Amino acid sequence: MFHRKRAKSLAPVWQKELRSAPGKRKLSFLYLANDVLQNSRKKGPEWIEALWPKMEWGMKHVIRGVSDTKTKESCAKLVKVWQERRIFGSRSLGGWLDAGADAGEDAADAAVAADAAPAPAPMVARRKEERLSVIPAALTGAHAALAKALEAVTKAICVLVAAEKTCATDLTSDLFADGFVENASDPEHAKRKLQAAESALSKRREALEETVRLRQEAASLAKEVTNALETAAKTESDALEESTGVVVQIATLRMKATRVAAAAMAVAAAREAGGTNKSKPGLEPVPVVAAVAPPAAGPMEEEYVPEGDEYVPEEVVAEDGAAAPAPDLAALLAESAANPEVLAQALAALPEEQREVFEAQLREAGVM
């Protein structure tokens, strides 16, 4: 009786235990229900409303499960007392003692299974619970607390909706009509209607109080989370703006590095195309020497006269006194292999046609 507010969830337990109890103990369940019904009706109709849909099945189940006359007489006495004292108001108890008039044990078992099964949660609450069964595992701190608070609010709203429906059913307008109590043809029935209305109002108030409390807690957590998110978003936005300049600088340096790398690759390719032969060590690429343009026509310069110990190249003269012929290409190649500058000076001093022929021979030899 202390848990009368949970009567709707406890009544299916009583029905389930009665069904599974041995035959000699089934009558005790009817006595238990009778004691609860008669002693709790002064405190509220919760147990009466919760047990009413199950009592006819329970009575027929007990009568069907026993064969002795004494048990059947006890069941008949209980039904008589309930009728005389109007435990269930003006509801009829006719046919409760006729076990054969029942639709059958299968229908009763189906009713027991349906009542024993937990009531499905509303679609909104079930979807919320399915999401929260995964999300809180990845949340911590205030975020996880807010998720749980929102889940509690959703459940409280479902309870409030149920309480509103009960209140709309039990709290009818005729209760407030003038003379409802004084002019009632059945004072006991009028009293029960008022008790049901009072109980419905009480449940509604409890649901409202719980909903208000949970909403306030969720709102407080939401405000805390919102402030933290706004602060973090402001900091990250500032960091994003500051990073814009860095991105431009990095992009500029990358483009410059790309150009430098491309130039280096071009130089390396030019050197390779210019004759660098790594398979022949000792032969370095010949430095490019700009061609000396012939002097412009003008006054004759004075002849150079060496002074002191300055080196003067000797003029090569043949034995007969004639000018020596041009050096042999093979000899010049042998000398220039050790000194590339000699080769460059020799090439610059040759006429253009001879220089082209000589360069072609040097390229074939792998020097250029």
Q: Please report which residue ranges of the chain form alpha helices under DSSP H.
A: 7-20, 26-40, 46-65, 69-84, 105-116, 123-132, 141-170, 187-273, 329-338, 340-349, 352-365
* CA-to-CA dists, residue 346 to 113, 233, 286, 333, 342, angstroms: 115, 75, 12, 10, 6
Q: How far apart are the first and last CA of the chain?
A: 114
**Is the confidence at residue 228, as pLDDT, over 50?**
yes
- For the segment 73-86, what is each residue's pLDDT rounded down to a tens digit? 898 899 998 888 88
- For the segment 273-288, what is each residue's pLDDT rounded down to a tens digit? 766 444 444 445 545 4
Q: Are 194 and 175 in contact (CB under 8 A)?
A: yes
Q: Measure the CA–CA gap between 289 and 349, rounded to whole angstroms.
A: 11
DSSP states of 273-336 as a string? HTT--TTSTT-PPPPP-PPPPPPPS-SPPPPP---TT---PPPPB-TTSSBPPPPPHHHHHHHH
Q: Are 359 and 368 in contact (CB under 8 A)?
A: yes
For residues 299-314, give the mean pLDDT. 52
For residues 220-226, give the mean pLDDT. 91
What pLDDT, on a 0 to 100 scale, did the predictor assign at position 161? 92
C-alpha angle 145/146/152, rounded to 5°?
A: 90
Q: Are 15 and 58 in contact (CB under 8 A)?
A: yes
| pLDDT band (50, 70, 90) for residue 306 | low
The share of the chain scoring above pLDDT 90, in percent, equals 13
Q: Are 26 and 18 in contact (CB under 8 A)?
A: yes
Q: Measure the CA–CA gap between 340 and 345, rounded to whole angstroms.
A: 9
Structure tokens at 41: 């009706």
Q: Measure the CA–CA gap between 161 and 204, rounded to whole angstroms.
A: 9
Q: Measure the CA–CA gap between 6 and 31, rounded to whole angstroms.
A: 20
**What is the signed CA dihedral for 62, 68, 74, 77, rounded to 10 degrees?**
100
What pLDDT, on a 0 to 100 scale, did the predictor assign at position 214? 92
C-alpha angle 197/29/51, rounded to 5°?
A: 20
For residues 330-359, give the mean pLDDT. 68
Q: Measure the CA–CA gap between 82 and 34, rounded to whole angstroms.
A: 8
Q: Which of 289, 279, 288, 285 is nearest to 368 (CA)?
A: 285
Q: What is the mean pLDDT of the chain?
A: 75
What pLDDT, on a 0 to 100 scale, did the predictor assign at position 368? 66
**Is the confidence at residue 316, as pLDDT, over 60?**
no
Of the listed ranges 176-180, 200-204, 212-216, the least confidently predicted one is 176-180
**Is the confidence at residue 157, as pLDDT, over 90?**
yes
- For the segment 11-25, what is each residue's pLDDT rounded down to a tens digit? 999 999 999 888 888
Structure tokens at 117: 């099964």
Structure tokens at 44: 């509220």
At residue 41, the 3 state secondary structure works out as coil
Structure tokens at 80: 């008589």
| pLDDT band (50, 70, 90) for residue 129 | very low
C-alpha angle 28/32/34, rounded to 5°?
A: 115
